[in-house]
Amino acid sequence: MSARCRSVTALAAVAALLLAAACRRDAAKPEPAAAPAAAPAPPPAVRVFVTNESSGTLTVIDAVTGTVIAASPLGQRPRGIQASPDGKSLFVALSGSPNAGPGVDVRTLPPPDRSADGIGEVDADTYKVKRIIHAGADPEQLAVSADGLLLYVANEDTSQLSVVDVPSGNVVAAVKIGEEPEGVTLRPDGRVVYVTSEGDGAVYAIDTHTNTLLTRIEVGHRPRSIGFLPDGSRAYVSLENDGAIAVVDAQKHQLLRRIQLEGQGNTPKPRPMGIAVHPDGSTVYVTTGSFGHLFLLDPKTNAAVTSFQVGQRPWGIALLPDGQTAYTANGPSNDVSVVDLATRQVTKKIKVGDRPWGVAVVAR
């Protein structure tokens, strides 16, 4: 081999060694870290949740922008809705009983689907049903204890109140009450729960420590919903067929008086339905069904201050935490009204699902 060839061979060998060393260095370098996945956007600070009875869905509204941000399936006939105290879950009453208004002969209706009855526990961030809690037949409305461990459920078809242990999902007590129970509300101290009985025209007061009936309070015709003053001194009960509100001493469980709600001209008479109480106890708000108005009551005088039109057959109502805005569920028009309580005007109507019924608010 010539000297020139030997030189070329040597150079090639050196180049190969250098290339191998470079490859080893590159191999030893750590791979660049992958870009972190984008964190999911946090939920809006305040959200409004609406149950839609006919479409079986949940509509979620951003209360700041007044826009619908989600719609999720729930089950059959979702009506009453309550948020857990920590705002992480929603509890929704689902029913397999056919929809029937007052005076309908139940013998003409299809049989109820009891497999559809239950309380749907919904994740407040994903809007998915986590589980169905079997809490008696045909649940309509419910209340949640302050610690989030118990549910109080009105079972319309069986005339009872079911008490449910949330962690286990088991019914731990059942209290027999009047016909067609609907509204369920805990007194602010949590010691007593009130349940309206449409068929009996009464409110049943139940001791939450013993789960026993304390007394029955005769209030009027077709009581629907209940709202307590923050100090627990009085309860206000909507009386649909009387066009009135019953004022109840919530400590002695005695009827104090009725507040008559007056219509205007030849319009239908007010049919009180949903009730909400301002956080400071200054005002009681009452929706009036086919009358279409929201009434404002002054607890100091126990008189109606004013009323104004909010929508078609408003039923469910909830206030935002600041107490300045209300949302009403308007069944026939498939929307909710956003109500400025200071100016007493509807600032917006938001389309939701079919036959909106209940409204709940989560702020966190």
How much is the pLDDT for 102?
Answer: 57
Q: Is the pLDDT of residue 33 over 90?
A: no
| Three-state secondary structure of the chain | CCHHHHHHHHHHHHHHHHHHHHHHHHHHCCCCCCCCCCCCCCCCCEEEEEEECCCCEEEEEECCCCEEEEEEECCCCCCCEEECCCCCEEEEEECCCCCCCCCCCHHHCCCCCHHHCEEEEEECCCCCEEEEECCCCCEEEEEECCCCCEEEEEECCCCEEEEEECCCCEEEEEEECCCCEEEEEECCCCCEEEEEECCCCEEEEEECCCCEEEEEEECCCCEEEEEECCCCCEEEEEEHHHCEEEEEECCCCEEEEEEECCCCCCCCCCCCCCEEECCCCCCEEEECHHHCEEEEEECCCCEEEEEEECCCCEEEEEECCCCCEEEEEECCCCEEEEEECCCCEEEEEEECCCCEEEEEEEEC
Q: Is the pLDDT of residue 361 over 80?
A: yes
Q: Is the pLDDT of residue 7 over 50?
A: no
The residues facing 303 across adjacent strands are: 298
Residue 98: pLDDT band (50, 70, 90) is confident
Q: Is the pLDDT of residue 29 over 60?
A: no
Q: What is the mean pLDDT of the chain?
A: 90
**Contact criterion met (CB below 8 Å) for 184 and 153:** yes
CA separation for the pair 105, 283 (Å, rounded)? 39
- Show the tokens assigned to 220: 């009027």
Q: Is the pLDDT of residue 314 over 90?
A: yes
Instruction: Tell me the torsion sign for CA atoms 200, 360, 319, 358.
Output: negative
**Contact criterion met (CB below 8 Å) for 225 and 274:** yes
**Residue count of the chain:** 364
How much is the pLDDT for 170?
Answer: 97
CA dihedral 320, 324, 329, 332 (to 10 degrees): -160
Burial class (CB in 10 A: 0-12, 13-18, 19+), 204: buried
Q: What is the pTM of this model?
A: 0.87
Closest to 50 measured CA to CA, from 284, 277, 351: 351
Least confident of 104-113, 239-248, 301-310: 104-113
Q: Is the pLDDT of residue 364 over 90?
A: no
Least confident of 264-273, 280-289, 354-363: 264-273
Residue 18: pLDDT band (50, 70, 90) is very low
Residue 25: pLDDT band (50, 70, 90) is low
pLDDT tens digits along 137-196: 999 999 999 999 999 999 998 999 999 999 999 999 999 999 999 999 999 999 999 999
